[in-house]
Amino acid sequence: MYEKITGLIDAPFTPMHPDGSLNLSIIPDYAHMLHRNGLKGVFINGSSGEGYLLTDAERMVLAETWKKAIDDLPDFKLIVHVGSTSVMSAAQLASHASELGAWGIGTMAPPFPRIGRLEELVKYCEEISAAAPALPFYYYHIPAFNGADFSMYDFLVAAEKRIPNLAGIKFTHESLYEYNRCRRFGGGRFDMLHGQDETILASLALGGAQGCICGTTNYNALCLNDIQRAWQEGDLARARAQQEFAQDVIDVICRHRGNIVAGKHIMKYLGLDMGPNRTPFQTISPEEDILMKAELDAIDFFAHCNR
């Protein structure tokens, strides 16, 4: 029913001024940098973008700003994460994304209240997707963030007839077995977007992944794109080497509070200062900055990162 995404979609950070307000002026340069480094679109206001820490008004103006910034970029997709602890807010954000002309929408399960039954998750997604019936809808499966650790195969069984615009799942979970079951469901009907940058190669080999939504593509897209390219060319040794480099980068950011904090700070090294994180996240300190940059130097990151 919907186009399946091929290639890598970026999960961008939300740029902020030192006082914590949105820095919208940087987004056009940001969008063009991502496009220049081979990304196929953006999935905004998600976990990398600190979406749950933003007001609804901020999330809408970010969507508007991104839409304007990519209008001159051919075939560059805008997918808007619209999930909220309030299903009414989520529906309003979905409707806004549709009116704006976004390519698609998505939602993860809310962090509160914790969803305890699959039926609750399907109902939540059903109400949100209905607010933008013309747009492809993706469920964002990331149980490490919200505890919604349900079988995604069972989710597809329950949701396929209730969510007419269900396009697929952003699958950010360790089980490649379950990922592959979902990819094969209904003869491959749904678009299964892999969401773990550290296992892209495994998803290509086992799951037949064609599209991914990634966080580290903000600064390491050349490497992650080459994993897919090397696999397609049959160069397994190069694909493995690139996946190992991607894991080395992820090891560094994991030592410094993960992609949302460390990854956002790395953008400053690339000439795009994303500013601080929003509380309760705490921005990288000057002392930690020195240590993290030395660790990135040690793996020759700056010879391979985005330009």
Q: How far is CA 247 from the centre of its chain?
A: 17
140 catalytically annotated: yes
Phi and psi at residue 10, to the nearest 5°: -90, 145
Annotated catalytic residue: which of 30, 124, 138, 140?
140
N- to C-terminal Cα separation, the chain: 36
Using only C-alpha atoms, the chain has a radius of gyration, in whole angstroms, of 18
* Residue recorded with tokens 């349900």: 150
Annotated catalytic residue: which of 40, 77, 170, 293?
170
138 catalytically annotated: no
Helices (H), 160-216: 176-184, 200-202
Spatial separation of the C-alpha atoms in residues 132 and 68, rounded to whole Å: 20
* Residue recorded with tokens 């904090």: 261
Six-digit token pair at 163?
């969510």
Residue pair 239/231 in contact (Cβ under 8 Å)? The answer is yes
Residues belonging to the active site = 140, 170
